[in-house]
Amino acid sequence: MGTAEEDIKELRDYIKNLEVINEGLRNSFEELTTLYRLVDIITESKTLERVLNSLMDMVTEIISCEGAMLFLVDEKNGEPDVALKRNISKKNEAKINLQMKQKVIEWTLKKGKTIAMPDIDEDANDTDKTTFVLVPLIAHDKPVGLIDIISDTPEGDITTKDLSLLTILAKQAALAIENVKLYESMKKDQISIIRALSSTVDAKDHHTSGHSLKVSEYSQKIAEALGMSERDIENIKYAALLHDIGKIGIPDEIIKKPTRLTPEEFEIVRKHPVIGARIIKEIESLSPMVPIILHHHERFDGKGYPDGLKGEVIPIGARIVHAADAYDTMVSARAYKDMLPAELAVSELRKNAGTQFDPKVVETFITILRRSSVGYDDKIDS
């Protein structure tokens, strides 16, 4: 049994060890919290450009560096191509080109391991030498790209912890890059489908050719001005482009009739939102646009069609497209009517706000038209 002094010393050593352990745990927790936050930012990015820029931002939070260069592997030839540069001097770019020449980057991609390596430029002075940290981006055992970090930290001072954090980040980033590439590819296919469908409406009636494009442009601007999310804006933009797709199911003699429609013919035309929604519903990737297409002729007072929805029960996208559609129809010439001057079309929007149209949408739309040089006279404000 030890003396009191020995017991006290032992207790002090124990407390000191606990403090060291707690400090280590606290640092590890802060590092993991930062890492998870950074990973969330990457995975939430919806475009390749955002993913790559977010990744480069994150790298600088993990390790001190002068600059970095990001390579993406070309899917056709398997070669790494420069995708993004961050604070790269001509001198450091020349050193990275030397790495490419000596196959260092290809070797790192093949190995799939994060490494810290000294400057391989034998002609450089010791004061010019720097440390390069090569971080391969691997997704599903396939090289996606590589980050070449020019660090101002001596090679021996870069810890295994730094390399481990970069490796974890790189794995998540590689998956995000693959996912966003797939998303962008699907989006291109989707846009091609939308444009092809929209063209069928223009081909149906040359008098309304270009109408859907104008409605789409107006609708996008209104949605942006209302502060809607990027995804909602996109859905509204493309739904507006397809809002009249159901007219391909209406007989040509009615669609192309040079005079006003009879009540019976108008009832047939009123079916086009339902027909359009049925067509678009069959294309899974376009399904978010179905409610907008189906309800773009509903009125704010509940007297519209096909379902007589009222007020804010009508999807906001449909309320936006309704106003944009009505305005462009008024200011466009048709076989059976002359075009209406922009100022009169705006007066009609104002007069019918709260009955036919959502007042907030009308107010926003008129503000947009007032600020635009297209389709509206800046002097008009009544």
pLDDT number for residue 39: 60
The helix/strand/coil state of 135 is: strand
Helix, strand, or coil here: 98?
Answer: helix
pLDDT value of position 7: 56
CA distance 329 to 347: 14
Instruction: Identify whether the C-beta of residue 293 lies closer than 8 Å to the C-beta of residue 277.
Output: yes
Q: Which of these, 209, 198, 207, lies nearest to 238 by C-alpha position? A: 198
pLDDT in tens, the chain (382 residues): 556 666 566 656 655 665 555 554 454 444 555 555 656 666 666 688 888 888 888 887 777 788 889 999 998 888 899 898 988 888 888 888 888 888 889 999 998 888 888 877 666 565 666 788 899 999 988 999 999 998 876 765 677 777 888 888 888 888 888 888 888 888 888 888 888 888 888 777 766 678 899 999 999 999 999 999 988 999 999 999 999 999 989 998 888 887 888 999 999 999 999 999 999 998 888 899 999 999 999 999 999 999 999 999 999 999 999 999 999 999 987 655 667 899 999 999 999 999 999 999 999 999 999 887 544 444 444 4
Of all helices (H) and strands (E), which one includes residue 183? helix 160-204
Q: Which residues contact 135 (CB under 8 A, 6 or more apart)?
A: 59, 114, 146, 147, 148, 149, 166, 167, 169, 170
- Residue ranges and CATH numbers for the domains of the chain are 4-181 (3.30.450.40), 205-371 (1.10.3210.10)
Q: Contact, 343 vs 378, CB < 8 A?
A: no
| Alpha-carbon gap, residue 377 to 382, rounded angstroms | 11
Instruction: Write the Ramachandran bin of 45: left for phi over 0, alpha for psi from -120 to 50, otherwise beta.
Output: beta
Structure tokens at 113: 């391991």
The whole-angstrom separation of Cα 290 and Cα 276 is 8
The torsion angles phi and psi of 378, rounded to 5 degrees, stand at: -60, -20
pLDDT confidence of residue 322: 98
Identity of the residue numbered 359: P
List of E strands, the chain: 65-73, 80-86, 115-118, 131-139, 142-151
Which pLDDT value is given to residue 173?
Answer: 85
Which pLDDT score, from 0 to 100, does residue 206 have? 64
